[in-house]
Amino acid sequence: MITAVYPGSFDPCTNGHLDIIIRSSKIFDKLIVAVLSNSGKTPVFSVDERMEFLRIVTKKLPNVEIDSFSGLLAEYTKACGASVIIKGLRAVSDFEYEFQMSLINTKLNPKVETLFMTASTHNMYLSSSLVKEIAVLGGALDGMVPEEIQSSIYDKLRR
Ligand code: PNS
């Protein structure tokens, strides 16, 4: 049984995240989507809100579990018995940092491999930061975040 972890801030989850979740859930027996709870960044949505969004959008995916973690990702992967870390790549500019992180994570947990999955072309431009900015300014989020969570994102962000 191979367990993979897809870690991130998910502040909030976008269609880009959901696409990576759906595609990787087809490859692994179990996929844990792990929300970072002690990020250096100050998130707009609480850990509970971010986890609830992820639960809503993955409710039809039986092998996907939503969790949160703090501290080192490498330690978290050891604790949950995961052998793979999934990272989504949107552009070459994502790669350098992600490459460094993958080397560090394997140094800290030699049993874990990082698998990079390229974003689908229609999601290449998406980011949680842009989604938040658009919502604050009252723009349409259609096609950017899953429909089921759009109104909750607006409720919190729209001025
Ligand atoms: O969605 P993000 O913000 O790009 O996700 C970043 C994340 C959560 C994957 C990354 O910050 C992370 O792994 N943080 C945990 C701390 C850690 O293990 N850092 C790497 C070793 S210094």
**CATH assignment at residue 107:** 3.40.50.620
pLDDT for 127-158, tens place per residue?
999 999 999 999 999 999 999 999 999 999 97
Q: What's the CA-to-centroid distance between 8 and ligand 1, angstroms?
A: 7
Domain total of the chain = 1
pLDDT for 72-126, tens place per residue?
999 999 999 999 999 999 988 889 999 999 999 999 999 999 999 999 998 889 9
Q: Is the pLDDT of residue 44 over 70?
A: yes
Q: What is the pLDDT of residue 106?
A: 96
Judge whether 128 counts as a catalytic residue: yes
DSSP the chain: --EEEEEE--TT--HHHHHHHHHHHTTSSEEEEEEESS-SS--SS-HHHHHHHHHHHTTT-TTEEEEEE-S-HHHHHHHTT--EEEEEE-SHHHHHHHHHHHHHHHHH-TT-EEEEEEPPGGGTT--HHHHHHHHHTT---TTTS-HHHHHHHHHHH--
By residue range, what is the domain housing residue 98?
Answer: 3-157
Judge whether 55 counts as a catalytic residue: no
Judge whether 122 counts as a catalytic residue: no
pTM, 2 dp? 0.97
State the pLDDT confidence band at 40, using cuts at 50, 70 and 90. confident
Q: Is 153 in the pocket of ligand 1 (CB under 6 A)?
A: no
Q: What is the pLDDT of residue 159?
A: 63
